[in-house]
Amino acid sequence: MANKDPQKFPSLLILSGSQTILRLRFFRHMISTQEAEGWVIDYVDGVSPTAVRDVLDGGGLFMASKTLAVVNNPHKVALEVLDKHLGAKDYDTTLLLYIEGEPDGRTKFGKWVKAHSKIHKAFPEPTEWKAPEVAAQFVSDEVKRYGMTIQPSLAIALVGRGGADLGMLSFEVQKMAMLAMAHGTKVIDMAEVKGAMAPIAAASVAPIVEALAKRNRKKLSRALVRLRKTTGADPTMRICGLLRTNVLRWISAVYLDNLPPAAAAAELGLNKWYFENKILPPAQRWGKAGTVRLARGIALAERAVLNGAVSPWTLLTAQLLDAC
């Protein structure tokens, strides 16, 4: 049975974004909502040349249900297949093109995504100067999810101290909310902020960053062990957020190797001395493949936390040490 009102739910949707926690929340909400309405949820891989065509040909056959087909690796799907389904007037299947990160705007697929912004839900990484503001607003919104409030100035201070990583901030807010409940209040104040961040405050992340910058496996191993011993709760998400900032700068620097250091520093909005002495040496030491491998290891550890893995810290440790 065909969709009675195809305009109510499009034949094709696009979901992307480097803000993992926001992208995953939106995705999970969509899945649970459509399941509750009786939709069949299917997962296909765009790498297979016939996978999308097969799900479109078979959509709606089971119990006359509508289907939401989540398409991984959508950049591998022939654009003519997507265009044809996008223009369909009578359909049982909605394709959800799921992109982890940002579509590459230099490719045909990236340009195609840009041209279809009306059906594209994006959670892009904010610019470096905008990130603190976005993160502070996220903290306020996250606090509201627990039925509580926090002063904007305190949210800004939390971001200033802990960084702008939304996944890490989500965990911090969760701890603060639990402390507030224990204190019998719905207002998160300085006491809850200090209480939530105290377990990791004693552990310095600087030795880990320094060991990574020098690609010194022994020092890195000792720093990781020392940090884990001085923290009660699993510090994976917080450490990933702090490491990511450095690693992404190294990646940027190594991929700007065609520019003089001064020009590269200006391109990244960094002080020339800081760039040449703190960013460029580790970038050159790791190289393009090495910095990307580090970023991938951090991303895998973050995903393990978000997916409820048993020991994300073990995964992060293994990824970092193996990269060295």
pLDDT digits (tens, 9 = 90+) for 188-220: 887 667 666 554 444 457 788 888 999 999 989
- pLDDT of res. 4: 44
Question: Is 64 within a domain?
Answer: yes
Residues listed for the chain: 324
Residue ending a domain, among 87, 104, 122, is 122
State both tokens at 14: 């696009």
Please classify residue 162 by burial: count the beta carbons closer than 10 Å to its beta carbon, then call 0-12 exposed, 13-18 middle and 19+ buried. buried
Determine the pLDDT at residue 200.
47
Name the percent of the chain lying above pLDDT 90: 33
Which stretch, 239-248, 259-268, 277-286, has highest mean pLDDT? 277-286
pLDDT greater than 50 at residue 173: yes
Rounded-to-integer distance, Cα 134 and Cα 139, Å: 9
Q: How confident is the model at residue 1 (pLDDT cuts 50, 70, 90)?
A: very low
The token pair that represents 145 in the structure block: 């999810």
The mean pLDDT of 124-135, rounded to a whole number, is 85
Do the domain assignments include residue 19?
yes
Most distant pair of Cα atoms in the chain: their distance: 66
Number of domains composing the chain:
3
167 located within any domain: yes
pLDDT over 50 at 160, yes or no: yes
Give 158's pLDDT tier (boundaries 50, 70, 90): confident
Q: Give the full edge-to-edge strand order of the sheet including 120-122.
A: 40-45, 67-72, 93-98, 12-16, 120-122
Predicted pLDDT at 120: 95
DSSP 132-186: HHHHHHHHHHHHHHTT-EE-HHHHHHHHHHH-S-HHHHHHHHHHHHHHHHHTT-S
313-319, Cβ contacts within 8 angstroms, sequence gap of 24 or more: 313/228, 313/234, 313/235, 313/236, 315/236, 316/236, 316/239, 316/240, 317/224
85 in the same domain as 197? no
Among residues 174, 201, 228, the one where a domain terminates is 201
Whole-structure pTM value? 0.59
CATH code, domain carrying 152: 1.10.8
| 163 pLDDT above the threshold of 80 | no
Are 231 and 141 in the same domain?
no
Domain that holds residue 69: 12-122
pLDDT at 140: 92
